[in-house]
Structure 1
């Protein structure tokens, strides 16, 4: 009887682990050279100043078995990218 209850118990979803947001470019996979990261950061700062829209670039070492669209949606929510009222943040993910 206990075995039957255990087998039919709902499975809890494992929590996703997200890297910390370290700036407009978050290189958690360690694939972007420092000079390139600095140039990208400058361009993203200019874009945000001109358009009032936020774009973040993230390299992720592992999607932890999740679909990239689902992972990206959850990561964007976790990081709070963009304006909450306009829902206008964008996230570019590279997962080598």
Structure 2
């Protein structure tokens, strides 16, 4: 049996789950008050209506043990924000 040990490899089952995209603002840590969240969502909707570009905000406690960059890629892959053929 061959085992390879990579110091920076992270097992998939230990990764922080990516939440489903159900709103433009996902606050899993309760950082925002309801009025703040509503203001952000309204601002993001207006921006999307004006430009066509989509923005999502995710607030989580930590991405550990995964690097924030890798977690961000997983979020982008799962949420699939943006428009096909526009690269936004």
User: Are positions 1:37 and 2:37 aligned together?
Assistant: yes
Could you list the runs of 5+ residues in structure 1 that have no partner in the other structure? 89-96
Greater fraction of residues in strand: 1
Segments of structure 2 that go 5 or more residues without pairing to the other structure are: none
Q: Give the TM-score, by structure 1 length.
A: 0.73
Report 1 or 2 for greater relative contact order, CA contacts < 8 Å, sequence distance ≥ 6.
2
The SS at the match of 2:56 is strand
Q: How many residues align?
A: 82
TM-score, scaled relative to structure 2: 0.79
Aligned to 1:55, the other structure's residue is in SS state coil
> Which has the greater radius of gyration?
1
Q: How does 1:1-96 map to 2 (within 5 A)?
A: 5=1, 8-9=2-3, 13-15=11-13, 16=15, 17-88=17-88
